[in-house]
Amino acid sequence: MRYGYFDTENDEYVIDRVDLPTSWTNYLGVEDMCAVLNHTAGGYLFYKSPEYHRITRFRGNAIPMDRPGDYVYIRDREDGDYFSISWQPVGKPLDEARYICRHGLSTTTYECDYRGIHAGQKMSIPIGDNVLVWDVTVRNDSKRVRELDVFSYAEFSFHHVPIDNQNFQMSLYCAGSEYKDGAIIYDLYYEEEGYQYFTANFEPDGYECLRDNFIGTYNTETNPKAVIEGRCRGQGQKGGNHCAVLQKSLSLLPGQSARLIYFLGEGALKQSQDIREKYKDPAALDRAYQELKNFWKNKQDRFKVSSGEAGIDTMINTWTLYQSEINVMFSRFASFIEVGGRTGLGYRDTAQDAMTVIATNPEGCKKRIVELLRALTTKGYGIHLFEPRWFMPEDEKEKKKKPFKSPTVIPEPEGASKVHGLSDACADDALWLVPSITEYVRETGCYDFLDEKYGYADGGEGTVYEHMKRIVSFSLEQVGDHGICKGLRADWNDCLNLGGGESTLVSFLLYRALVCLSELALFLGRDDDRMSFDKELKRLKSFFNDTLWDGKWFIRGITHNGRKIGSAENEEGKIHLESNAWAVLSGAADEDKARTTLDSVYEYLYTPYGILLNAPAYTKPDDDIGFITRVYPGLKENSSIFSHPNPWVWSAECTMGNGDRAFEYYRSLCPYYQNDIIETRHAEPYSYCQFISGKDHSAYGEAHHPFMTGSGGWSYFAVTHYMLGIRPGFDELIVDPCIPARWDGFNVKRYFRGDVYDITVENPAHVQKGVKEIYLDDTMVDKINIAGDGRQHSVRVVMG
């Protein structure tokens, strides 16, 4: 069953059946302000931090779902009938009204046709402005004059998510609202600069600042009292709950339409006036749409594939790129799942995100890499969850600002520090950063970056290269009783209890980090370093292949009681994905073991919806193995199809030349191919979800937690770098595809260090991997050297 379709021409996903089984989301904004919106205009808005600077309120995990939101009600003065432009909150029967939602790149549009009125509401956050714009059009498609009242509605939040949800004897008295010169000004009085405004491009005929006046104590957003009555009371107040309602009366002749533009922004009266002035002429807004379009087009033009396989082209050129970029911009905590209850950056997630879209977003990825470098301790481990500002050299303005302090006393232990000790360090966190930095310098050619100096979280400073060396030294020291890397607080899998135990995954991640450093040292001519990295690599390779091999695959780890995890000798959780993917992807596994282990993954973990994280599922709580055994079978880390590590396996298959299998895996997980089975998938088909219920769960195949997951980035990276095989070398562009044998080839236009390469890959012999000939501008070459002339060059690669 399908609920919509991909409109590739306009880079939109069009939901033409809006009674979806769950919310389908979009993220608006590409700078500091972000709106998370669903297909019925439910969601929330924040500025910089979803936890500390929440502008509109959201009631997470509530019924009806995803309320409140950014609503526009239209009421017919003749008979008092009303509807909302988005299907919810009024929710007219779908056989009486026609609704559409178009999620696009940084815009979402709601449309409704109801009783001769066509209405549209386009949402966006223009580049350079901290304002959410609602661009509303109301058109009279009927044959008589229509007398209408249009009401906007958004509910303000008390900014800090904790304050918004508790201790109402304080919170209810911290915020005030007033109406002035066409704008509603909201003030969080506890804060120094706690203002927001709501205004429009017209003079309103009524307004309301008080939520309960508008909705009514016994009503909901579905049937607000003021809309039923057709009039607002027009009040603001110090204290209480506040909202943004502007009322506009329209009289529309047949065929006539009105464009009402609303602005929900950061700042007070002055900012509201400035924004009104700026967008006085709606053409200014049309230009802002074009700027947003160009913003994304510039990125899309940096890597554009045409393979003839719609599930690759549509996802890589648009949706997976978009998902990966949004993760780099806003990280993980702004969603309907996290509800902004946390803020900041997770070390491991961010370190991986920052590697995936360097070609399309070098500045954004560098910013993240620098934040991670500053959050590294001198010992070489990262601060697991941190806010970048903790470790930033303060700027003068920030220093002068009084920090917000809640009047509610929440005692903090004396000496509490942002820098946690070893007992809270996750063994994998910083190891992800080494390949990301290597990727960054290869992509950009900015090798000077390696000698730039940055501070450590616990004091002192060092070059980027020194930071990298500390990371591997730390992991080389942190070994357990069996000589393999400790898991510390956790490795990538948060639910395996490897504290005190040892982790095969971390061991292979260390191997990969050492490979990166060794290659870097070779390129930079740092011979002593290279020799010492290579010595370790040699030692670890033979040691890992002996110690970690289980017969048909690699074990996942060893608990602090010395029990193996992920071994044939276990009854449950016999085989795990992560260690086997990385055994191959890191280059550590001997060739025969690499092949056997990948075959085992295929045999024991592959399902039609993707690869299980482990199997068989754990069914009995066992705290030696960890929390994973207290998660229901088939959910989350316990034998679900956890999306994030799936592309690790696709990539590993590509290193072994198995293009058919890599694509089969890609197809199984890729949401694009599940557009027609939404009765099973439930979630949106344009973004990867954190996990899909595994075969031991009654909801097998149902996808959960869209958008904010590392699976977008990793999928993008695996397809571009391993399947299409186009990746940056130190001083060359590498084209080394691994594709299904049936493919005749493909084309990629790729920007690289100032030039554009128009790459045509031909596969006349129908192989999966192997490059026979390379032509650069029609001349046969061994490798693609960087032209560096800022022009377009043609590359022809013949596989065979």
- Rounded CA Rg of the chain: 28
152: helix, strand or coil:
strand
Structural contact between residues 698 and 303, judged by C-beta atoms closer than 8 angstroms: no
Residue with Cβ nearer ligand GLC (311 or 647): 647
Put residue 170 in one of left, alpha, beta given phi > 0 → left and psi -120 to 50 → alpha.
alpha
Residue with Cβ nearer ligand GLC (185 or 631): 631
* Min separation Cβ 468 and ligand GLC, Å: 21
Binding-site string for ligand GLC from residue 600 to residue 639, where x marks contact by CB under 6 A and - marks none: -------------------------------------x--
Binding-site string for ligand GLC from residue 573 to residue 602, where x marks contact by CB under 6 A and - marks none: ------------------------------
Distances (CA, A) of 237 to 175, 179, 241, 243, 468: 9, 10, 9, 11, 55
- In sign, the C-alpha dihedral spanning 297, 300, 301, 302 is positive
Residue with Cβ nearer ligand GLC (613 or 656): 613
* Min separation Cβ 5 and ligand GLC, Å: 29
Q: Distance (Å, rounded) from C-alpha 163 to C-alpha 170?
A: 8
Put residue 23 in one of left, alpha, beta given phi > 0 → left and psi -120 to 50 → alpha.
beta
Residue with Cβ nearer ligand GLC (139 or 348): 348
Stretch that binds ligand GLC, among 492-500, 552-560, 569-577, 584-592 (CB under 6 A): 492-500
Stretch that binds ligand GLC, among 76-84, 487-495, 502-510, 660-668 (CB under 6 A): 487-495
Structural contact between residues 221 and 68, judged by C-beta atoms closer than 8 angstroms: yes
Using CB under 6 A, pick the residue from 152, 177, 343, 493 that binds ligand GLC: 493
- CA distance from start to end of the chain: 41
Stretch that binds ligand GLC, among 40-48, 191-199, 488-496, 588-596 (CB under 6 A): 488-496
Structural contact between residues 90 and 227, judged by C-beta atoms closer than 8 angstroms: no
Q: Distance (Å, rounded) from C-alpha 671 to C-alpha 667?
A: 8
Using CB under 6 A, pick the residue from 16, 31, 494, 519 that binds ligand GLC: 494
Using CB under 6 A, pick the residue from 58, 454, 492, 672 that binds ligand GLC: 492
Stretch that binds ligand GLC, among 341-349, 447-455, 582-590, 647-655 (CB under 6 A): 341-349
* Min separation Cβ 83 and ligand GLC, Å: 39
Structural contact between residues 365 and 357, judged by C-beta atoms closer than 8 angstroms: yes
Angle between helix 433-444 and 362-374 (nearest 10): 140
∠624-477-464 over CA atoms, to 5°?
120
Using CB under 6 A, pick the residue from 276, 348, 489, 556 that binds ligand GLC: 348
Structural contact between residues 45 and 28, judged by C-beta atoms closer than 8 angstroms: no
Other Cβ atoms less than 10 A from the Cβ of 789: the count is: 9
Q: What is the DSSP letter of 404?
A: P
Instruction: Tokens for 609, please give them.
Output: 């919806």
Binding-site string for ligand GLC from residue 319 to residue 338, where x marks contact by CB under 6 A and - marks none: -------------x------
494 is an active site residue: yes
Residue with Cβ nearer ligand GLC (601 or 628): 628
Residues 668-697 that bind ligand GLC (CB under 6 A): 690
Residue with Cβ nearer ligand GLC (155 or 349): 349
Q: Distance (Å, rounded) from C-alpha 333 to C-alpha 168?
A: 24
Residue with Cβ nearer ligand GLC (111 or 353): 353
Residue with Cβ nearer ligand GLC (132 or 577): 577
Question: With CB under 6 A, what is the number of residues at the site for ligand GLC?
Answer: 10
Give the nearest residue (CB) to ligand GLC.
494
Structural contact between residues 565 and 574, judged by C-beta atoms closer than 8 angstroms: no
* Min separation Cβ 598 and ligand GLC, Å: 21
* Min separation Cβ 385 and ligand GLC, Å: 10
Q: Distance (Å, rounded) from C-alpha 683 to C-alpha 679?
A: 9
Using CB under 6 A, pick the residue from 50, 89, 311, 346 that binds ligand GLC: 346
Measured in residues, the chain has a length of 800
Given 16, 205, 494, 758, which residue is catalytic?
Answer: 494
Distances (CA, A) of 539 to 304, 502, 536, 665: 41, 18, 5, 33
**Unique residue bearing structure tokens 């960054």:** 440
| 349 near ligand GLC, rule: CB under 6 A | yes
**Unique residue bearing structure tokens 């909901």:** 220
Residue with Cβ nearer ligand GLC (261 or 496): 496
* Min separation Cβ 560 and ligand GLC, Å: 19
Which residues contact ligand GLC (rule: CB under 6 A)? Answer: 332, 346, 348-349, 492-495, 637, 690
Catalytic residues: 494
